[in-house]
Amino acid sequence: MTTNQLLAICLFFLGLEERALLERRQPLARWARRQYERYRARLNQVRSGESDAVARSYRPARGMESPGVAP
């Protein structure tokens, strides 16, 4: 994933946590915080120059491979 995608996911989970806390939905807020921390760690890894393990294992949909790659 790109840094922009990871940042957008982090912001989504922070917003979800905030809304859940306002609505007194504690389990959802805890889950959203855990997801935020998970994606924030991945964002920090990508920003520090480490390759993203998920990006390395990404397989494009059939027909979307780069030219010259055998299916």
Banded model confidence at residue 57, pLDDT cuts 50, 70, 90: low
pLDDT digits (tens, 9 = 90+) for 3-49: 899 999 999 999 999 999 999 999 999 999 999 999 999 999 888 88
Highest mean pLDDT among 25-34, 45-54, 60-69: 25-34
pLDDT at 14: 97
For residue 3, the model assigns a pLDDT of 87
Tokens 């994606």 found at:
39
Secondary structure letter of residue 48 according to DSSP: T
pTM: 0.69
Quote the CA–CA distance of 26 and 64 in Å, as a whole number: 42
